[in-house]
Amino acid sequence: DVEEDDSPIGQMCTDVFGEGWGSFRIAHMSTGDRIGVELFQFKGQENPENNFEYWKTGVFHFCVQDPDVEGLAERIVAAGGKKRMEKPRYYYPGEKPYRMIYMEDPFGNILEIYSHSYELIYSEGAY
């Protein structure tokens, strides 16, 4: 469970969702070829009546890895995208260089950028 608080992950989530998100559950999975998959479960989730409301977003975001998080973020902005967070956040401030930022591409798709591999970031238990 992830709680809305002043922890690094709590601050990251507030950057993305805004204040008042409360808490959510998350499952982390990783494939053999280093692809990470996260499943989110938010409180108050409502299932669509027919499970095919094509006009609503179905995928929350995609994530890419680039050691130059800041540089890629600036290239996205230069291409017409925007930052969803003011600046990259560190998973382990003062301890490890693992950082991330949420972005939005010019079409409104949400992208996340990780500085390091999914396994490295979550092997320590980021929260």
Residue 26 has pLDDT above 90, yes or no: no
Q: Which residue type, as a one-letter code, is found at position 87?
A: K
Supply the pLDDT for residue 70.
97
Element (H, E) at 122: helix 118-123
Residue 80 has pLDDT above 90, yes or no: yes
- E strands, the chain, in order: 2-3, 23-30, 36-42, 62-65, 82-83, 89-90, 99-104, 110-114
pLDDT band at 90 (very low <50, low <70, confident <90, very high): very high
